[in-house]
Structure 1
Amino acid sequence: MNESRLRYVIRKELDQLGIVGPADMAEVCRRFGARRGKPLKLVAYPLEVPGPFGLWIATPAADFIIYQKETTNAHQQHIIAHELGHIISGHTADDADEDGLGGSFPDIPPDHVRRALRRTHYDTVQEREAETAATLLLERAAVLEQISLPSRTPRARRAQQAFGEQQDWL
């Protein structure tokens, strides 16, 4: 999917989720899972380095985004957005059976965790799409927190400056 189409898909998705301004990825994922009727759970975990910073694991009951626990909050937000980008872009993850819960991730079947941990990358096109999606999910929020459009009247401009009016994103 090209960037223009991906931008449209993400804008539409965020509109359907009722996300009208900057929100952290946990809130976006919570709403995304609720809308789909399949929870999207975020799990901070000290992933082995070198290795992937994040993983998306799909089970019949829930999707899990496992992200590097031992990094900055900004990096964690990007990792989560990247993995969510795989989901929004329609990429596939291994499906898991519901039996055999246990191990490091008690809500996820161990064989599925093992498969996901062995997988370190998708093909180049999918990685590029997920990275573009992550950038689109995060960039507008960061930029629009710093800018505001000028108001027409002096009174409105003063109020805008006083309250730091924030613009819509995407």
Structure 2
Amino acid sequence: MAATDAVRRVDAVIDALDYDFRLFEVDHFLKHLRERRSRPLHLFRYPLEPELFAFWLRQDEADFIFVNRTLHWVHTVHCLLHEIAHVVLGHRGQDISKAIDPAILQEFGIEIALGHFRRGRRSEMSDPGQEQEAELFVSAIQGRLNQVQRLSELYGNPTSIAELRPFVDALGFNS
């Protein structure tokens, strides 16, 4: 798939989510996805091996995303969005049981480990094409969040001083 086609596809999928990115918070976004897809999506911050950042498992009854709880929160959100990308972009899962500690699968009663995983080493990508598309998704979401933030800075409250707000509002800057 050409890069521009991939960008268009990712943008179309994000548009179809019909999400207001002005409201973005991880929990709110996950709730929206669950409702929009009418399918459970479980997130676990779990102590994974240091090189394993996150993975997604598709099961008949639900989707499971595990993110390494030792990651910095910015990296956590990035990895979570990356795994969500696999879910909403309809990526096919692969057998990733060899990349995951069998104790995790046993703890959660998972017999068939189909999904994607994200490691620190690029050579261990599940499917390079789908991984690149998932990164495009993360980049597109970050772009939308940056745009929302910038618009808020430009057109949001012109003052953060509560006592001045009635006077500034009377000037019509928020119209």
TM-score by length of 1: 0.70
The reply on whether 1:6 has 2:6 as its aligned counterpart is no
Residue 172 of structure 2 is matched in structure 1 by 156
How much does 1:7 deviate? 0.9
Instruction: Find the structure with the greater CA-based Rg.
Output: 2
Residue 129 of structure 2 is matched in structure 1 by 125
Kindly report the root-mean-square deviation, in angstroms, between the aligned alpha carbons of the 2 structures: 3.2
Any unmatched runs of 5+ in structure 1? Answer: 96-101, 161-170
Matches within 5 A, 1:42-81: 42-50=43-51, 52-81=52-81
How much does 1:103 deviate? 4.2
Is contact 1:25-1:81 (8 Å) kept?
no
Residue 91 of structure 2 is matched in structure 1 by 91
Query: Residue 124 of structure 1 aligns to which amino acid in structure 2?
Result: P
Q: Deviations over 1:92-134 (max 9, x none)?
A: 2258xxxxxx943633415539x86799422221111000101
Alpha-carbon distance change, 93 to 27 in structure 1, aligned in 2, over 3 angstroms: farther
Is contact 2:57-2:116 (8 Å) kept?
yes
Q: What SS does the corresponding residue of 2:113 show, helix, strand or coil?
A: helix
Query: Residue 27 of structure 1 aligns to which amino acid in structure 2?
Result: H
Q: Distance in 2 between matches of 1:118 and 1:4?
A: 24
Query: Residue 136 of structure 1 aligns to which amino acid in structure 2?
Result: A
Alpha-carbon distance change, 150 to 111 in structure 1, aligned in 2, over 3 angstroms: closer
Alpha-carbon distance change, 116 to 78 in structure 1, aligned in 2, over 3 angstroms: closer
Greater fraction of residues in strand: 2
How much does 1:64 deviate? 0.6
The 10-residue stretch of structure 1 (116-125 or 53-62) with the greater mean CA deviation from structure 2:
116-125
Q: Distance in 2 between matches of 1:116 and 1:21?
A: 29
The reply on whether 1:38 has 2:45 as its aligned counterpart is no
Q: Distance in 2 between matches of 1:118 and 1:139?
A: 22
Is contact 2:55-2:116 (8 Å) kept?
yes
TM-score by length of 2: 0.68
Residue 168 of structure 1 is matched in structure 2 by none
Is contact 1:19-1:28 (8 Å) kept?
no
Any unmatched runs of 5+ in structure 2? Answer: 96-101, 157-168
Is contact 2:48-2:69 (8 Å) kept?
yes
Q: What SS does the corresponding residue of 2:141 show, helix, strand or coil?
A: helix
How much does 1:4 deviate? 2.0
Is contact 2:57-2:113 (8 Å) kept?
yes
Residue 147 of structure 1 is matched in structure 2 by 151
How much does 1:36 deviate? 2.1
Aligned pairs, how many? 147
Percent of aligned pairs sharing the same letter:
26
